[in-house]
Each structure stands twice: as structure tokens, then as C-alpha cells.
Structure 1
Amino acid sequence: MAAALSPAASLQLRPYPTLRLLSLYSRASTTLRTSHSLPPPFRSLPRRRCLCTVITGALYSGERTKRELVEKPRGELGERVGEFRRRLKIAEIKGKPDEGLGRVGQSIAVMGWVRTLRVQSSVTFMEVNDGSCLSNMQCVLGSEVEGYDQVESGSVSTGASVWVQGEVVPSQGSKQKVELKVKKIVLLGKSDPSYPIQKKRVSKEFLRTKAHLRPRTNTFGAVARVRNALAFATHKFFQENGFVWVSSPIITASDCEGAGEQFCVTTLIPSSGETTDTPLDTIPKTNNGLIDWSQDFFGKPAFLTVSGQLNGETYATALSDIYTFGPTFRAENSNTSRHLAEFW
């Protein structure tokens, strides 16, 4: 790439606007149209090479263009995007030893999802969480807040995504040391009235039916953070001691330990929407009535791995100090804490 672009840099080309550059191409031809005033060296070049060359020349000689782009005022849309990007994560505010007291008096903006909303006669308390930590940011809103009409109309409810701006003040409550006195609130996304994750506790059996929302609960959020810390510590220990991580295959044709049942991976069984026949009748068979694995995706039986040990042994004979860390699967139908279908 450097060798291909260096000749263009020495020619000091003047920049061509993007729209004009695109208009130089003919749909039926692979060369540039010659009706435009391109420099002679580029009139007969192939399309791809000329595109790279002209763009490179524009970048190299575009000091005036660069200055114009910097000095050009941003439009209304750009200003709004920049405004929403100016925010702090709640973990940056409440995750320090002083729990946010060092930011008292600062004007900040946070974004997140509404966890709870309590509308009272003179004030509204709203807790917002952005996923950066388990702790919520309590926001205090009065009727004078810009955008408060969205709260009064019921558009802001539990589960809605909001952007709030205000001043950090000492909290009057005992559950947190600081809170946000809101000056402006913007509703980014409404929440359906049937939003199931409310303040009251829900069972894990119920959360199984709401897989797309359960990560917002404290339980699943805490499990994800603990698992992240354990995985990071595992990699950190082995990496600091000179080990090489080997990513063992998840789909394999071998049974590493031979002690547990394996999950079979096959494309021979069609889905119910692809055929009206029963899956048993559509599985290809050999002349003696056995499954014809030669017609399967891999041409032979394949399974989810039960262990990365066998693959690790082969790499240990080449790289010496190695370790494996990845998912393994056991098809043991036992509903106990000691027999998991998937584990690492």
C-alpha cells in the first residue's frame, strides 16, 4: 500500500470533492471518464488505482481543505450528538472511595435505564442505572425541570432509556451519599407498559422466560461481573507466568475422556419447517439401516467437546507451557450443581 501511494504524494494533487470524484466513474467501464479535467497521468488508469491515487493526493495537499473543515461550524445535528456524548459513567461517580462526594457542585450528564420512578406531589425520585456498576444514580426532579412534561405524561417509566443532566449534590437519604439534582431530562426510548422487570423481586424461573431482559437484574449483573473477574484473573496468572493460551476446538470428532455422554452436532435432522416428514424418516441411512454419516456436514460423527485436554497435550509437546480455557459440554441429564451441561 505504501509503495502504491507514494508516487501520488509526490505529484501534489489538488483535492477533488467526494461527490465529484464519484461522478467520474462510468458504470459500463472500468476506467475514468476523460470529459473531466483530471491530470493527464490519471486519465487512463484503472478505476481502483485512480481512486486511491486521487484520494491520497487530496489528503497530502489538502491543507486548505483541512483548515476549512476544522473551521466549518457544526450543524444542529452534530451539536446534539456531541451533547449526548458528554456524559459520565455512574461507576466513575460513585465507584470511588468517597462515593461521589468529590464531585459535589459539578454539572454532569448521565445516561441509562430507569430502574424505579416515584412521583410525589412536589418532587419526583428516579433511579437510573447505566450498567457500569450495580449502584444506581438517584435523580431528583421538580416540575421546573426541562422535559418534565415527559414524566407527567407517563412516557418516562420503569425500563425507559433516558439522558439526564444536572448538578451533583449531597443526598438527603441514607442509602447514598450523593444524588443528581436534574435540570434537563431527555427520553431516548420508551418502555412498554408490560415491562416485566419491576422493583419487586421475581423468581429465576420467571427470568428464564425473559432472557433478553434478565441481564438488567442485580443477580445476573453480579454473576456476569464475578465471572468476568475470574476469567481475567485466570488469564492474568498464566500469562504472567509464561504460559501460552491454546483455544481448543469446540466441535470435535474425538471423545477426549470417554467418561461422559456427548452432544451430537449434525445437519442430518431437518427442522420441522423444512419438511412434512418425520425427522426419523428423513435421516439418510446405509443399506444395513445405520445412519449414513458420509452425508453429514463433516462426513463423520461430530460432537461438542467434553474437554480441551487432548488438544492441549498436542500443543504442550510443541510450545511447552500451555493452558486451555474454554467451554466444555457434557450431555448428562442430572439436575444437580455438580453436573452441568456447559462449564469452563
Structure 2
Amino acid sequence: MTSKTVAELLSQEVTLQDVTVKGWVRTFRANRFIALNDGSTINNIQCVVDFENFDEATLKRVTTGAAIHITGELVESQGKGQSVEIVVKTLEILGDSDPETYPIQPKKHSFEFLRENAHLRTRTNTFSAVMRLRSSLSFAVHKYFNENGFNYMHTPIITGSDAEGAGEMFKVSNLDAKTPPLKEDGSINYKEDFFGKETNLTVSGQLEAETYAMSLGKVYTFGPTFRAENSNTTRHLAEFWMIEPEVAFMDLDGNMDLAEDFMKSVLSYVLEHNKADLEFLDKRLLDEEKTKPQAERSEMSLIEKINFVVENNFKRVSYTEAIDILKNCKPNKKKKFNYIIEEWGADLQSEHERFLVEKHFKCPVILFDYPANIKAFYMRLNEDGKTVRAMDILFPGIGEMVGGSQREERLDVLKEKMKALDISEEELWWYLDLRKYGSAVHSGFGLGFERLVMFATGMGNIRDVIPFPRTPQNAEF
């Protein structure tokens, strides 16, 4: 008999049939009712045991966390909360289970405790729902780009360039850490290293993706990136995943169109395919909000936030207009913001971005034409000489979700910007070549995948939306 998943069994309309299912015990009540889950759905299937048909030693091993194999008859449920249940005929315990030491007991655990047991935390409803949503969002990303003519590109994980110019990179070296080869001036001689030069883990695949966009037209990357930023906030990881499309012959307006359509598409996908998980996480977030002071509570539920993005047109506003709005708004004038906006050129914080989205425009917002001195070197300089063709997409509850730009396609302008920022032409000779040979307008954007998962799940800490978080002083598992 072919084993069925719990999700398949719960969707069955035909009862009084023999079925077989395998999964992990969530609870076993009164030596009679097993709540079984196999990860295919947020919901458990109830398996009813007649204890007279099984020996006491077997039933004692049916403990929370145990893996079991059940065969029985699928019948209409006599209890509330499920449409069908299984009357157990045979029950096999698979492997060992120690109920005394199993950490994920059927009670409320703190997220901090569950991070310490990240190898088992997906046995809980919250984390199984989060990771199913993460999987669906991943599929939706690839589905969108595949259906829109993009080529998937694997960019290097080991690189000799710093795309962001921030310098917060993990070094890659096989030199002896105690006695590395040295130059005459006492500095390390990386010419004797494995790659013959200083190399790091990538912070972005964008620059390499641009090379392929300038031959294949439309490409995207979706892979791991790394930042050696010593930050322990709820929004930073040392290892995370980035989605980065690049498109030739597309200007900033086209880039904004693409990003808006993309975001609506992937979020619509999970609304359609992850309804049960979203409803569970929606209730979890509602219960969490009730514990907060009234002033700190969100005005929208999780599902309302997602629909807020899917159903509204994104308002496009210049940075300059946004600064004027923020300077003159009540929270700024009454000094309610933690960071007071005083003049043009300020780097906007999450509180400012959320005000624009949630209070002022009441829809997702795309800010564009930022000051050049707060954006990366590769962004196209505007004719005013002080702003660049950059854009950020702002969402409710989280602030910036997407960052992108029209790339600087003019060789002379790019060289001047690199010189001003002390970025080596020798190091990025191949990037400059794109401006020498068949240069054209092109654009792209970057989206931190974990930030998208946070938005779609309502989780407040980025460490809870990636299987095994990598943060300062933590590389467990």
C-alpha cells in the first residue's frame, strides 16, 4: 500500500478506505489519540488507537517526537477540528526516541530556545509554516523569472571585488595563519595564496550579473551572499540569500515596473498556495500584537499587509519630495522620530520609510533619485550632478524591501566616480570593459530573500526565517 502524506489524507473525500502514513508524533492523549504530522501541512491528522489491540510496551514508545508508521482505516472524524481521522490497525515505531531528553515538548517555547535547537525547531507549527512559506517563495521567484524570459545565472561565491565598497567581507585564504608569507614592507604576500590574489566571500552577485545581462539581455541570480558586519540586530545575518535581476536596455522606469510586478507576483503565489500556513501565522502575530502597548501595535494583520502590497499600485516619489514631506510632518516637528530629518541628504531610516508607507501615502512606495553620496558607485549619475538613478521599494511594517538602480553605462563618468571613491580600475578592469564594448542602458535591483520571508511570515527576527542562522559568535549546526 502506497504511503500518503498527511496533506493528501486531510484532503480526501472518500472515507472507509485503508491507508498508510508515516510521520512524527506531536501528542499522544489518553493512550488513544495520536496527533501525527509529517511536515506536508500545518495540520495534524488524528490517529485513534484501541489500546486493547496493542501491547503496553509499544504504546509507551509512542511519545512526542517519535517517528511512526501507521496503517488503518480513514473514517469521518467523530471529533472537532478535522474532517477525517484514522482508526489504527497497525503501528510501527521507527528508530529510537527518548522522551526524557527530547527538547521540543508540546508547550510554548521561546524563539531563543528554538534557535539553540534549530535542527529540531521545524517540528513546531510556527517554524514548519515559516519554512514551507520560504520554500514556496523560492519556487515563486524562479517561476516568475522563468516565465518572463530571464536566464538564471550562478555568480561566484569567491570573489576579488567588493561590489558594495563597504569592506565588510570574509577573507578566503589557505595561507598559514601563524606564518603567512610577507612582502618586504611586512604586509601579507597574497600572490602566494591559492588564487594568487586577495579574495573574499561575495557580498553581491550584481557586478558579475551585469556582464551576462550585456550579452543575454535578461538574467537573474539567486544565491548566498556574506557580510562580515559585527551586528546583532534582528535584521542582520552574516550569511543570507540575494535575488538580483539585471536587464539590458532597461532604464529606471522599467526597473521600477519590473520590481513592482515581481513583488506582487511572488506574494500572490503564497496567498494562493500557502493559505493554511498564512492563517496560522496571522493568528500567531495577532496574539503577539495583543501583548504590546496599544501605541506599538500594527494596524494591519499579516494577511492584510500582504494584500496591501498585492492590491495597491506602488506610489513613485522622488527622494527630494519625500524629504520635504518628512521635514514637515508632525512626528518630525514634534521630535517623535528617533532620527530627526533636518535637511536634504539625510539617509532615511526605517521609521521614516514606514511613515511614508503607512501614514502618508497608505500604499507601498518607490523612492527614486537619491543623493549620490549615500549610494553605490555603479548607480547612474543624473544631470544635476548630485543625485543618482537609484530606487528603493518601501513596504509596511518593515521599511525598505528592494534596492536597485539604473547602472552607470558611461565609461568616463564611471571612472570619475571610482576615482573619487578610491576604487581600483585595475581590480575592476572587466567591469569597465562593459562600458567600452557595446555599452547600453541597463538596470537591476537586489532583494534580500530573508527580508521577503520576514514580511510574508510576520516573523520579527531574521534568524527565524533561515534554517541555520550565521551571526557574530554563532556558526552552530
- Smaller-chain TM-score bracket: 0.5 to 0.7
Counterparts of 2:85 and 2:196 in 1: how far apart (Å)? 62
Aligned-pair CA distance for 1:162: 0.8
- Unaligned segments of structure 2, at least 5 residues: 243-477
Contact preservation (8 Å) 2:153, 2:221: yes
- Which residue number corresponds to residue 333 of structure 1? 230
Which among 75, 92, 105 is matched to residue 186 of structure 1? 92
**Structural mapping, 1:186-335, within 5 Å:** 186-193=92-99, 194-259=101-166, 261-268=168-175, 281-335=178-232
How many percent of aligned residue pairs carry the same amino acid?
Answer: 52
Contact preservation (8 Å) 2:154, 2:223: yes
**Structural mapping, 1:98-113, within 5 Å:** 100=12, 102-113=13-24
Residues 243/160 of structure 1: CA separation in 2 closer, same or farther (3 Å cut):
same
TM-score (norm 2): 0.48
Aligned-pair CA distance for 1:128: 1.2
Contact preservation (8 Å) 1:115, 1:128: yes
Counterparts of 2:170 and 2:140 in 1: how far apart (Å)? 30
- Which residue number corresponds to residue 395 of structure 2? none
Aligned-pair CA distance for 1:181: 0.8
Q: For the pair shown, which has the larger CA radius of gyration, 1 or 2?
A: 1
Counterparts of 1:173 and 1:247 in 2: how far apart (Å)? 51
Contact preservation (8 Å) 1:114, 1:129: yes
Counterparts of 1:260 and 1:106 in 2: how far apart (Å)? 63
Matched, 1:141 2:54: no
**Structural mapping, 1:39-118, within 5 Å:** 86-94=2-10, 96=11, 100=12, 102-118=13-29
Counterparts of 1:282 and 1:256 in 2: how far apart (Å)? 30
Matched, 1:169 2:65: no
Residues 150/109 of structure 1: CA separation in 2 closer, same or farther (3 Å cut):
farther
Aligned-pair CA distance for 1:190: 2.1
Counterparts of 1:191 and 1:109 in 2: how far apart (Å)? 21
Aligned-pair CA distance for 1:240: 0.9
Counterparts of 2:228 and 2:9 in 1: how far apart (Å)? 45
Contact preservation (8 Å) 1:293, 1:299: yes
SS of 1:166's equivalent in the other structure is strand
Q: How many residues align?
A: 240
Counterparts of 1:256 and 1:297 in 2: how far apart (Å)? 22
Contact preservation (8 Å) 1:150, 1:156: no
Counterparts of 2:173 and 2:115 in 1: how far apart (Å)? 27
TM-score (norm 1): 0.65
Q: Which amino acid aligns with 1:143?
A: F
Contact preservation (8 Å) 1:104, 1:168: yes
Counterparts of 1:160 and 1:287 in 2: how far apart (Å)? 63
Residues 242/110 of structure 1: CA separation in 2 closer, same or farther (3 Å cut):
same
Aligned-pair CA distance for 1:176: 1.4
Counterparts of 1:133 and 1:333 in 2: how far apart (Å)? 37
- Which residue number corresponds to residue 129 of structure 1? 37
Residues 163/338 of structure 1: CA separation in 2 closer, same or farther (3 Å cut):
closer
Counterparts of 2:55 and 2:40 in 1: how far apart (Å)? 26
Contact preservation (8 Å) 1:93, 1:103: no
Aligned-pair CA distance for 1:260: 5.1
Contact preservation (8 Å) 2:77, 2:83: yes
Relative contact order: is structure 1 or structure 2 higher (C-alpha 8 Å, sep ≥ 6)?
2
Contact preservation (8 Å) 2:222, 2:241: no
SS of 2:68's equivalent in the other structure is strand
Counterparts of 1:337 and 1:155 in 2: how far apart (Å)? 39
Q: Deviations over 1:19-68 (max 9, x none)?
A: xxxxxxxxxxxxxxxxxxxxxxxxxxxxxxxxxxxxxxxxxxxxxxxxxx
Q: Deviations over 1:129-179 (max 9, x none)?
A: 11211211111101233x444434x22211111111111122222221211
Residues 119/285 of structure 1: CA separation in 2 closer, same or farther (3 Å cut):
farther
Contact preservation (8 Å) 2:34, 2:47: yes
